């Protein structure tokens, strides 16, 4: 199982609001690869930003801060969602964490 403050890296297709909620309740920090069709990725694209935080509401009105980042590697654009909000987790740090997992 997970320990408090663990960072869990998921590949695309693993993002779901239920997984986000369950990890949030365990005080675990996910890094999800997001699909371009996700509503928060779409909002990020409209904002012309590469790093933006949104408030996600789950069924019981739990508020979860979800940070969406965008970066490009070899002309391919990636979108990452995470609850790691601290400044030390820059786009480059998150990109490197995701890459180290072999994804």
User: pLDDT tens for residues 89-102?
Assistant: 999 999 988 876 54
Decide: helix, strand or coil at residue 25.
helix
Q: Which residues pair with 63 in a beta bridge?
A: 57
Return all residues near 38 (Cβ < 8 A) that are at least 6 apart: 15, 79, 81
**Of 64, 62, 103, 68, which Cα lies nearest the Cα of 89?**
68
Taking a C-beta distance cutoff of 8 angstroms, is the pair 56, 17 a contact? yes
Residues of the chain with pLDDT under 70: 12-13, 100-103
Tokens 């005080």: give the residue.
27
- Per this entry, what is the length of the chain? 103
Return all residues near 93 (Cβ < 8 A) that are at least 6 apart: none
Q: How many CB atoms lie within 10 A of CB 11?
A: 12
* Predicted pLDDT of residue 103: 44
């Amino acid at each position: 199982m997970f320990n408090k403050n663990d960072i869990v890296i998921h590949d695309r297709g693993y993002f779901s609001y239920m997984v986000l909620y369950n990890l949030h309740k365990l005080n675990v920090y996910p890094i999800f690869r997001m699909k371009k069709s996700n509503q928060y990725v779409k909002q990020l694209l409209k904002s012309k930003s590469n790093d933006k935080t949104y408030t996600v509401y789950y069924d019981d009105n739990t508020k979860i801060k979800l940070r969406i980042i965008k970066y490009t590697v070899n002309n391919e654009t990636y979108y990452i969602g995470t609850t790691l909000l601290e400044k030390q987790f820059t786009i480059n740090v998150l990109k490197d964490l995701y890459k180290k997992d072999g994804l």
